[in-house]
Structures are given as C-alpha cells and as structure tokens.
Amino acid sequence: MPTLPLAMPRKIAESIMSDFAAAKYDRVIVVYNQFKNAAVQYVINEQLLPLDSTGSNREGKRRTITSTSLHKGRLFWS
C-alpha cells in the first residue's frame, strides 16, 4: 500500500496556516466522514482555525447519514 510522505501534509498545513495568517481565510474547517458501519456514517465538520479561547476546537459537529437518509438520489440529514 502506498504511503504519503510526511513532507506533503506538512507543506499543505503550512500553506493553509500562512494563508490564514495573511487573512486570505477567516476560518479553516475540515470535513470528513466517520464510518460507523455499512448503514451509518457521520459527516464531521471540525473547525481548525481560529482556535477558541481554550486553544482547542476538537469538538466537531456531527451529522448522521444512514441508509434511510437516501431517497431518490437525495440526501436527507438526520
């Protein structure tokens, strides 16, 4: 299985932080799927920048996608 060299994500992170510091973005949010099982996946929105007053933004917002969430090609959040 191919691996991602650590230099690549580091360059991406440095570029994003530099652009944020230069006020190109007012916030940085990462969105990813968290797999629970074949019927349920969570879509996680986690703000990375700016940090809140405690210095951490680890509490992401979670939405659930279930097999019953899909209806005629449309996605319904539950």
pLDDT of residue 68: 47
Answer yes or no: pTM beyond 0.85: no
Give pLDDT tens digits for 23-72: 999 999 999 888 888 888 888 898 889 987 665 555 556 555 544 444 44
Interacting residues of 49 by C-beta distance below 8 A, sequence separation 6+: 16, 17, 20, 25, 27, 28
pLDDT of residue 5: 77
CB 61 within 8 A of CB 44: yes
pLDDT of residue 52: 76
pLDDT of residue 24: 95
